[in-house]
Structure 1
Amino acid sequence: MVAEVDREGCIECGLCASVCPEVFRMGDDGPAEVYVDTVPESSESSAVEAQEGCPVSVIKVEE
């Protein structure tokens, strides 16, 4: 499973980083970013939760 963030559309709310810090973090320049190549199996459900909770729908998590 992989995740990605459309950083241009990110409003920097921090929800993804708080829900799934194993995959997402707030970038030094503001918008959230993915910092792992593959979502760890133990974090898949929280990564999907971050995707579903994103208020601007800029997160994509897929196989």
Structure 2
Amino acid sequence: MAVKVDKDLCIACGVCMALCPEVFQADAEGKSEVIPGADESLPCVDEAIDSCSTGAISRE
């Protein structure tokens, strides 16, 4: 399942990037995005999903 960040919900708080820097990075606006080619199966991805205060991160 692919990880997706909803840019409309993301508030650029940086929690996901702090918890899982191997998968998430900031885009030009400071909002989170998935690093191309990142290992989306890492356990920290689930922690980032659960910790996102706006629910912007999901698996599809």
Normalised TM-score (structure 2): 0.83
* Residues 31/40 of structure 1: CA separation in 2 closer, same or farther (3 Å cut): closer
Correspondence 1:29 to 2:29: yes
Identity of aligned residues (%): 35
Aligned CA RMSD, in angstroms, stands at: 1.7
Moved over 2 A (4+): 36-41
Query: Which structure has greater helix proportion?
Result: 1
TM-score (norm 1): 0.80
Say whether the 8 Å CA contact 1:24–1:33 is kept in structure 2: yes
Q: Unpaired segments of 5 or more residues in structure 1?
A: none
Deviations 1:21-53 (A, max 9, x none): 111011122211111345354xx2100000000
Aligned partner of 1:50 in structure 2 is: 48
